[in-house]
Amino acid sequence: MLALLSCNGGVTTTGTGPAKRLLVATLHGVQIFEREEGEQWSRTGQHLVDYHISALLHEPESGLIFAGGHYDAGLWVSRDLGASWEAGGSGLQSRHIYCLEAQRHEQGVRLWLGTEPPMLYRSDDLGQNWIACPQMLKVSGTDKWTFPPPPHVAHVKNIAFHPARPDHIYLCIEQGALLKSEDAGQSWMEVSGYESDEDFFYNDNHRVAFKPSDPDDFVMDGGEGLYRCNHGKWSHLTTREDRIGYPDAMFRDPRNDSGLIIGGPRNPPRLWRDQDVPMADPTVLYSGDDGMNWRSLANGLPKIVGNIEAMGMHVRQGGQFSLYAGTATGEVFHSDDCGENWSLLADRLPPISKGGHYRWFLTDERRAEIEEELRKTKVAATN
C-alpha cells in the first residue's frame, strides 16, 4: 500500500489496508519511507536528489509513479514504486512543473499537467507524450496573472474535474484566475463571483474540491481563505483573520459527504518573518458541515515553525484514512486515525516546499542569494 506526500499532485491514494510505503517530495528529490504494519517508519532510500520535486502522482492501473519538479527539474517516471526513475516529458515546453493529475475516461486514463509559466498539458499515453492546451491563455486578463516572489510568473496550481461531467475541468491559476472548461480543455472561461474589492490578493486560488453527492456544490481555498460555490452562488466561509488564514492543503472526508480537512498557516508567507523568529504557525482543521464550523485536528502536533506545505491522504477500506503533513523546515508528521492524533514520522529532511516558500526560514543573506539566482534564471530563459 502506497502513500504520497507532495505540495501538489495526486496526493490521495487508496488501499485495503494501511500504507506501508511513503514517497515524500522535497527540495532534494524523493525520500522513501517504509514500515511493517504496526511498526515505525524508517527511511529506505532517496532519489532525484539534484531536483526540487513539487508534485507526485500514482496511476494505479499502470502502477506508474510520476514526479514533477520545479525550475528545470522536469518530469520523471518510476515503474517500480520509486526505486528507480527515468526522464519523461516529451512535448512539454516548460520543465517547471507544478501539478499532476490523472483522470479515468471510457477510453482509458488521461493525465494532466500544469506548469510555470501557466500552461496545461494532457497525455493519453501514460505520459510518454504531452499536448499543450494553449486555449486557456485566450481568456481576458492574463496580463494581470502574477506570483509575488521573483521571478513574478504565475503557474497552474491545481487541476480539478467535475465528478459527474468529466469534460468540465477547473484550473486554479496562482495568482490570477479560476478557469473552467466544459469541453475537455478546448475552450475556457473565467469563473467569477467570489472576488471582492477588499481582497488583498488578486485571485490567489489554490484548490477546488467537489462534494461527491452534489458536484455542483464545491469549495475553493486560497490566499483570501475558503469559498463555497453552491450551484453558482458563492459564499466566503473563512478569511485571512481565521486560524488558518492562508489555507492550501484540502481534502474531503471520505466518511462524511459534508466533511472538510484543511491545512495551512495562520498568516500568508510575507508575514512569516514579521517577528523575532520566522514562524508560520500552521495547523490542521476539520469541518463536518461544509465549512461553516471548524475544530482543531492538532493533537500531537507541536508549535511548528515551518509551514505545512504539503499533505497526503491514504484511504483504507471503510473510509478510514491516514494523513501525512510535511513542512518547509523538513519535518513529516502522520496520523493513522483520521487526523485525531499525530506523531513525528521524520525530521531533518530537505525542505518540503511549494516553490521558494522555504526561503522565508533562511537567513536574509542566503535568501537574497537564492532570489538573485532566480532572477538570473528568468533572464537566461527569455534571451
Q: Please check whether residue 126 is in contact with residue 111, taking contact to mean a CB–CB distance below 8 angstroms.
A: yes
pLDDT at 86: 97
pLDDT at 239: 95
Whether 95 is covered by a domain: the verdict is no
Residue 44 cell numbers, joined? 529506505
Whether 341 is covered by a domain: the verdict is yes
Each residue's pLDDT, cut to its tens digit, for the chain (383 residues) gives: 899 999 998 899 999 999 999 999 999 999 999 998 778 999 999 999 999 999 999 999 999 999 999 999 999 999 999 999 999 999 999 999 999 999 988 778 999 999 999 999 999 999 999 999 999 999 999 999 999 888 899 999 999 999 999 999 999 999 999 999 999 999 999 999 999 888 888 899 999 999 999 999 999 999 999 999 999 999 999 999 999 999 999 999 999 999 999 999 999 998 998 878 889 999 999 999 999 999 999 999 999 999 999 999 999 988 999 999 999 999 999 999 999 999 999 999 999 999 999 989 887 776 677 667 656 654 554 44
- The model carries a pTM of 0.93
Q: Tell me, what DSSP letter sits at residue 188?
A: -
pLDDT at 197: 83
Unique residue bearing C-alpha cell 474540491 = 209
Whether 146 is covered by a domain: the verdict is no
Question: Among positive and negative, which fits the CA dihedral 283, 200, 101, 130?
Answer: negative
Q: How many domains does the chain have?
A: 1
Whether 336 is covered by a domain: the verdict is yes
pLDDT at 51: 96
pLDDT at 370: 65
Domain extent, residue 261, equals 242-383
pLDDT at 263: 98
Residues paired with 43 in a beta bridge: 33
Residues paired with 3 in a beta bridge: 22
pLDDT at 380: 52
Whether 355 is covered by a domain: the verdict is yes
Q: Please check whether residue 375 is in contact with residue 151, taking contact to mean a CB–CB distance below 8 angstroms.
A: yes
Q: How far apart are CA 214 and CA 257, in angstroms?
A: 9
Whether 376 is covered by a domain: the verdict is yes
Q: How far apart are CA 156 and CA 173, in angstroms?
A: 5
Exposure string for 203-229, b = 16+ CB within 10 A, e = fewer: bbbbbbbbbeeeeebbbbbbbbbbbbb
pLDDT at 378: 47
